[in-house]
Amino acid sequence: MYSFRIIGEEQGCSARLGEIHTSPEAVLTPAFMPVATQGACKAISPLDLRRLGFKVLIANAYHLYLRPGTDVISSHGGLRRYMSWDGAVVTDSGGYQVLSLAKSRKITDEGVSFRSHIDGSEHFFSPATSIAVQESLGSDVMMCFDECPAYDSPYEYVEKSVSLTTRWAKLCKQAKQDGSGALFGIVQGGVYEDLRTRSAKELVDMDFDGYSIGGLGVGEAREATYEIIELCAGLLPRERLRYLMGIGTPADIVRAVALGVDLFDCVIPTRNARNGTLFTSHGKVVIKNSRYAYDRSALDDNCSCYTCGNFSRSYLRHIFMAGEILSLQLMTLHNLYYYSKLMREIRESIEKGTFRQFCSGLIDAEEE
Amino acid sequence: MYSFRIIGEEQGCSARLGEIHTSPEAVLTPAFMPVATQGACKAISPLDLRRLGFKVLIANAYHLYLRPGTDVISSHGGLRRYMSWDGAVVTDSGGYQVLSLAKSRKITDEGVSFRSHIDGSEHFFSPATSIAVQESLGSDVMMCFDECPAYDSPYEYVEKSVSLTTRWAKLCKQAKQDGSGALFGIVQGGVYEDLRTRSAKELVDMDFDGYSIGGLGVGEAREATYEIIELCAGLLPRERLRYLMGIGTPADIVRAVALGVDLFDCVIPTRNARNGTLFTSHGKVVIKNSRYAYDRSALDDNCSCYTCGNFSRSYLRHIFMAGEILSLQLMTLHNLYYYSKLMREIRESIEKGTFRQFCSGLIDAEEE
């Protein structure tokens, strides 16, 4: 069971308010998905993710296939039960991870043979393998197996890569069983507009449940990122969900929402938290800075999260410097609260028709 | 404000039920204190510690003096506010840490000069320094500055050490300001019965608010531990609280309760959790064991903690093997829940007069 409908649109830009129906529950968009690559979001429990208001997580087929193995997860009744998450689960196909993490990889038209980054064991992922893995995880929304070229790949390489991604998308669609999760095509094509256009059109012709924009935020110039997002969003059907993979900062997100993107995932809030970089309504805070040693104020006086309601910047700095795991927990909680609130405010502003004001205020603040 | 009263005693052994009154709140004993050495309990928030039923934590004068510094903490109004803990706080004097962690230490009758284990900076801790540090932390129960000799120290060394600890205890008592927290003397004397006897008597003559039994669980034979606990408890006044420092396993705790101990702290539940060793009603579980890879059962089917209610052994093993911080959180929560429940059951059984049965059942199970 999967459907998506648009319930509101902002005048003067492409932002839209939508609703995804999945079997666990409905999810309002624009939405952000915390990253649970290995079936766990880093330094926060599923219960706390719920309390923060998140309704959908993203997990990874490559990682979970290698460890603990899909037989373990399917014997528990799927990933949602395995990780005790009662919301929806989106899975990435593993295409990106096979090519960025695995060793001795060899790409053919049929798929990728590789060695595990964990134990060196040999494996082969075809489009059909990826779909079977995602189905065994009980994914609500699956991704096609794709090839994501490095951002500085030459035109000729990316051209072949787009052909391969289209070929694999067809095979994924054929492999998918009736009654399993929704399946999204992933638009590739690097920074080349004609290749992005070709990729989008070929996937749209295949009529996927939704479309992802992949291969961005991988090192290309920031303005290229936005140009490609705008191009792709314009080529994708209005009534289907658009998911921008792996991006981004709060400013990236509001800019992409303005271009018509509905769904996001990114490690930034959780990874930055673990590095001591925190998002606040007054800009970023790098907690290890000695200026915070005696700072008795909350991390963000406009934030209602547990961390801001109970601990000073001084305390957060102290436990971070002292290597306390609690610092990772408290800062992860805060950054994810910030993202959850951001998405809620984006949705509310689209509903009220004030998104463009909200958007420019936030981008100006972040880019100062 | 501090008082302690005995509200029940088990017939046929020395176990007793008591109540500590501190300014934050009343604490029923026997009680266990989670360890917040640096002002944070590892991998669990103060809110979750509360939810588990803990009412008192132990922090460390040496660590907090070095980092973040007592001025930082006192500017926040004391440690309880600094770490957002609304229960009581007991502090250790730093005597043990100065001698076990610090570098280039030199002991004189006046105190210990040492270099910080963090940055090599030079410091001097006298009994008066330790008390001033503990007072600035706003400790509810402070410890005298003591010398804890290595478990295999020769008689002559330990004899001098007891003299020094007695001397320092006098200086601590003199240094303590009116209106600050309660002050406990720490019985030392290694494994030598006559030195333990001398130490206990000299401290009791000084009339402390309560008494700690220190220098145990540091490497001595296990039967020696219990003999010394029994000896010390018998020498300490019935109406004063007895705190056994740094011990121990669940079996250690029930045995010590039977000998008349009221208060405990230990890193075992939290450290074991981080090493993947878990306490259950069926014995210890070493979660990395491959036998749990497909084990869909709860860690402990008799446990009502969040971890046992929501995750399988298979999942806990997977996220532990994958290095997920969440595994430390979920396993810390479980082990501390186990300790909290243990202490509650000990208290309830003393109240009902069934402690001896409870005790022998648990010791047999653990020592199997």
Cβ(B58)–Cβ(B36) below 8 Å:
yes
pLDDT higher than 80, residue B335? yes
> Would you call A305 exposed, middle or buried from its count of C-beta atoms within 10 A (0-12, 13-18, 19+)?
buried
Distance of CA B118 to the CA centre of its chain: 23
CA distance B308 to chain A (A): 11
What is the pLDDT averaged over residues B156-166?
Answer: 97
Q: How confident is the model at residue B34 (pLDDT cuts 50, 70, 90)?
A: very high
Cross-chain residue pair A325–B330, CB shorter than 8 Å: no
Set of chain B residues whose Cβ sits within 8 Å of the Cβ of A38: 318-319, 322, 324
* Test mutation, B310, B313, B327, chain A, max A CBs within 10 A: B310
Three-class secondary structure of residue A210 per DSSP:
strand
Set of chain A residues whose Cβ sits within 8 Å of the Cβ of B41: 326
Distance of CA B284 to the CA centre of its chain: 21
pTM to 2 decimals?
Answer: 0.97
pLDDT higher than 90, residue B361? no
pLDDT at residue A365 in the model: 67
Catalytic residue chosen out of the listed positions A146, A252, A262, A265: A265
pLDDT higher than 60, residue A368? no
- Token pair recorded at residue A179: 């009654």
- Among candidate residues A236, A238, A239, the one with its CA nearest the CA of residue A214: A236
pLDDT at residue B153 in the model: 95
pLDDT at residue B365 in the model: 67
Cross-chain residue pair B314–A68, CB shorter than 8 Å: yes
> Would you call A160 exposed, middle or buried from its count of C-beta atoms within 10 A (0-12, 13-18, 19+)?
middle
pLDDT higher than 90, residue A24? no
**pLDDT, tens only, B209-235:** 999 999 999 999 999 999 999 999 999
pLDDT at residue A100 in the model: 86
pLDDT at residue B101 in the model: 87
- Token pair recorded at residue A115: 């060695």
Cβ(B123)–Cβ(B113) below 8 Å:
yes
For residue A92, indicate whether it is catalytic. yes
Those residues with Cβ within 8 angstroms of residue B1's Cβ, 6 or more apart along the chain or in another chain: B21, B22, B23
Distance of CA B69 to the CA centre of its chain: 22
Three-class secondary structure of residue B234 per DSSP:
helix
Cross-chain residue pair B326–A296, CB shorter than 8 Å: no
CATH numbers and ranges of domains, chain B:
2-266 (3.20.20.105), 267-356 (no CATH)
* Test mutation, B71, B80, B318, chain A, max A CBs within 10 A: B318
pLDDT at residue B30 in the model: 98
Q: What is the mean pLDDT of chain B?
A: 96
pLDDT at residue A367 in the model: 61
Q: How confident is the model at residue B367 (pLDDT cuts 50, 70, 90)?
A: low
